[in-house]
Amino acid sequence: MSHAFIVRAADWIVDESAIAGIRRAVFIEEQGVPEDLEWEAADPQCRWFVAQSNRTLIGIVRLTAAGRIGRMAVLPDWRRRGVGGELLAVVLRVARELGMHRVHLSAQIHAIGFYARQGFIAEGAEYLDAGIAHRSMALNLNVNLKDSA
């Protein structure tokens, strides 16, 4: 199996069913998230990004207009190869391009280290969402990229 992949903005019309396949495999089947909590009416209005190897989607993430990052998932066979990190880096780049000053997310406890690597800071107490322990995390994007180039 080739380990090469790309990350691109999704086209909701074209990619919706493949995105749904990853959500079903990772959140509903692997993690036991109830189906009625997984699908949201706002999904088509979000910006989605996908990781793709050959013609197969292997990872997803979404960004809302309010700067909330969510539904970060990489298929099990592809984990620990940088796919999730690249998805997160692309979302952060687009959020900066959109002029967002701050992005936030609800991190499953096991993934806190994953988000912290790209600068997210955990805030507040642990809480349960869909029966899974989470903490809020946020990242300020006020860095002037021209200064750090």
Residues near ligand COA (CB under 6 A) are 26, 72-74, 79-85, 107-108, 110-111, 113-114, 117
Identity of the residue, 15 or 58, whose beta carbon is nearer to ligand COA in the bound complex: 58
CB-nearest residue to ligand COA? 84
Q: Quote the least distance from Cβ 31 to ligand COA, whole Å.
A: 6
Q: Let me know: does 142 contact 101? Beta carbons within 8 Å.
A: yes
Q: Quote the least distance from Cβ 83 to ligand COA, whole Å.
A: 4
Q: Quote the least distance from Cβ 95 to ligand COA, whole Å.
A: 17
Q: How many CB atoms lie within 10 A of CB 141?
A: 17
Q: Which of 133, 69, 73 is nearest to 104 (CA)?
A: 69
Q: Which of 59, 72, 55, 70 is nearest to 2 (CA)?
A: 55
Identity of the residue, 63 or 72, whose beta carbon is nearer to ligand COA in the bound complex: 72
Give CA–CA dist 84/69, Å, rounded. 13
